[in-house]
């Protein structure tokens, strides 16, 4: 399916983004490991999060989907059923890696499999620590690709320093740590998103964090009530659109503002973006959340360092897009991880934006972008990647002529209804 975008002469209005994908996955998985019935309001409608529910159901977890909330009856740590067939994780790396950690606490063998994209993604990063803990964990090949077989049981606590900055790896190890003998510790390179830690605490588990070092004490989570805030990574597309399209002022409401997710805002401020953030700090039961107003205006080029990339990993394609309209040379370094996402996001971003006239070069670990240039409409491809599709749709609003994004259906992976939400902002102003 393709989507067509005509130039916009300004976006305006308010938009509420759907529930956070990362928090939704974790709430469902930790709810499944809990004792009692957990209620999660605002659970994401993303296809990825539906995959997590399907996988948990196949492990014997009862999940009722009601109006705006889901209820999960947990099986306790180590209490999953033996699954009948392979567990289908679809396109979702978070489902596969976090469920692998949850399965580590269960003595039954399970096989996690994905779609064509996910079955090409690296799993050694979870196989290594889980094996150290005593899990029998095997990929389908030497390179560590899924399907992934996991058979857990009696686990030993470890102290582990992942070779990549990855919240998925940290979360897999912490979840396995619930069933280990002793305190499990993860030492990260930079503190990645901490939703797992927050939900475990809400569920009564002892989790201590000191900067990039996180430890979990084993135990069985207690059921909890959680309201999922709007997804910051989805909000980022509207923020970028408002900054890019002249004459725009857009407010995104009810967005999660967890500081481990909002590095993008700090980078935009460095580019000179006009942003106003109002929000609440949050507490054990609620993550920080609030509203973000973004207005169009001139932008300056910046250098984005590897640590900053790690903290804004899902927004880097948007940084590249914004850099096409910023004055000077923007350099994005240390972003090799982008090549391991749903597609190679460095090459997909460079291909799409080059076709639209951007001055953008691919480097082994990032991109160099010269601005400002006027983008022009073109036929571009999502490469089966939801974030590439949405970024190119936003680019189409700022380009002259018509932009056609092929593979638009992939936006369902994180944001069903994104195209409609974007056009509502256009209609309000045109």
Catalytic residue positions, numbered: 314
Task: Give yes or no for residue 94 binding ligand S3P (CB under 6 A).
Answer: yes
Shortest Å distance, C-beta 240 to ligand S3P: 17
> Treating both helix axes as pointing N-terminal to C-terminal, what angle do 316-323 and 345-355 enclose, rounded to 10 degrees?
30
Here's the x/- map for ligand S3P, 174-203, by CB under 6 A: it reads as: -------------------x----------
Shortest Å distance, C-beta 169 to ligand S3P: 6
Shortest Å distance, C-beta 168 to ligand S3P: 3
CB-based contact 170:214 (threshold 8 Å): yes
What is the spatial distance between Cα 275 and Cα 377, in angstroms, rounded to a whole number?
A: 27
What is the spatial distance between Cα 174 and Cα 20, in angstroms, rounded to a whole number?
A: 20
Phi and psi, residue 334, nearest 5°: 70, 35
* CB closer to ligand S3P out of 201 and 426: 201
Here's the x/- map for ligand S3P, 15-34, by CB under 6 A: it reads as: -------x------------
* CB closer to ligand S3P out of 260 and 325: 260
Task: Give yes or no for residue 403 binding ligand S3P (CB under 6 A).
Answer: no
Question: Given candidates 313, 319, 392, 399, which one binds ligand S3P under the rule CB under 6 A?
Answer: 313
Spatial CA neighbour of 56 closest among 165, 189, 175? 175
* CB closer to ligand S3P out of 190 and 249: 190
Shortest Å distance, C-beta 382 to ligand S3P: 16
Here's the x/- map for ligand S3P, 139-178, by CB under 6 A: it reads as: ---------------------------xxx--x-------
Q: What is the DSSP letter of 221?
A: P
Across 229-302, where does the E strand assignment appear?
249-256, 274-280, 289-295, 299-300
What is the spatial distance between Cα 240 and Cα 372, in angstroms, rounded to a whole number?
A: 15
Spatial CA neighbour of 271 closest among 239, 248, 249? 239
Task: Give yes or no for residue 296 binding ligand S3P (CB under 6 A).
Answer: no
Task: Give yes or no for residue 314 binding ligand S3P (CB under 6 A).
Answer: yes
Quick one: 13 exposed, middle or buried, by C-beta within 10 A (0-12, 13-18, 19+)? middle
CB-based contact 427:9 (threshold 8 Å): no
* CB closer to ligand S3P out of 257 and 356: 257
Residue facing ligand S3P at closest CB distance: 22
CB-based contact 240:250 (threshold 8 Å): no
Question: Which positions lie near ligand S3P, rule CB under 6 A?
Answer: 22, 94, 166-168, 171, 193, 313-314
């Amino acid at each position: 399916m393709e989507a067509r975008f005509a130039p916009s002469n300004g976006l305006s209005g308010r938009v509420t983004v759907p529930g956070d994908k990362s928090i939704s996955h974790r709430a469902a998985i930790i709810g499944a490991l809990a004792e009692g019935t957990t209620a999660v309001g605002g659970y994401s409608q993303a296809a990825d999060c539906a995959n997590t529910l399907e996988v948990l159901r196949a492990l014997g977890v009862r999940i009722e989907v009601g109006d705006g909330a889901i209820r999960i009856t947990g099986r306790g740590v180590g209490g999953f059923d033996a699954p009948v067939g392979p567990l289908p994780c679809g396109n979702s790396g978070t489902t596969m890696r976090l469920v692998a950690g949850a399965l580590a606490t269960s003595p039954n063998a399970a096989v996690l499999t994905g779609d064509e994209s996910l079955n090409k993604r690296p799993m050694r990063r979870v196989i290594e620590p889980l094996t150290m803990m005593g899990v029998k964990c095997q990929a389908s090949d030497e390179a560590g690709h899924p399907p992934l077989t996991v058979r857990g049981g009696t686990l030993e606590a470890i102290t582990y320093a992942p070779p990549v900055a990855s919240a998925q790896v940290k979360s897999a190890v912490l979840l396995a740590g619930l069933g280990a003998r002793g305190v499990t510790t993860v030492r990260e390179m930079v503190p990645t998103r901490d939703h797992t830690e927050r939900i475990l605490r809400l569920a009564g588990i002892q989790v201590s964090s000191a900067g990039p070092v996180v430890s979990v004490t084993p135990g069985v989570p207690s059921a909890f009530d959680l309201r999922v805030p709007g997804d910051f990574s989805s909000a980022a597309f509207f923020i970028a659109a408002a900054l890019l399209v002249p004459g725009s002022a857009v407010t995104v409401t009810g967005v999660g503002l967890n500081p481990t997710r909002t590095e993008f805002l700090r980078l935009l401020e460095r580019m000179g973006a006009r942003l106003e953030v109002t929000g609440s700090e949050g507490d054990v039961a609620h993550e920080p959340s609030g509203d973000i107003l973004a207005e169009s205006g001139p932008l300056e080029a910046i250098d984005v360092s590897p640590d900053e990339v790690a903290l804004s990993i899902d927004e880097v394609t948007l940084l590249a897009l914004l850099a096409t309209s910023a004055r000077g040379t923007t350099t994005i370094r240390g972003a090799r991880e982008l090549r391991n996402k749903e597609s190679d996001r460095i090459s997909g971003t460079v291909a799409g934006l080059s076709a639209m006239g951007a001055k953008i070069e691919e480097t082994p670990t990032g991109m160099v972008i010269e601005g400002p240039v006027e983008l022009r409409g073109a036929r571009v491809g999502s490469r089966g990647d939801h974030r590439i599709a949405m970024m190119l749709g936003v680019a189409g609003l700022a380009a002259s002529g018509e932009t056609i994004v092929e593979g638009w259906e992939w936006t369902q992976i994180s944001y069903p209804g994104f195209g409609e939400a974007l056009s509502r902002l256009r209609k309000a102003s045109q």
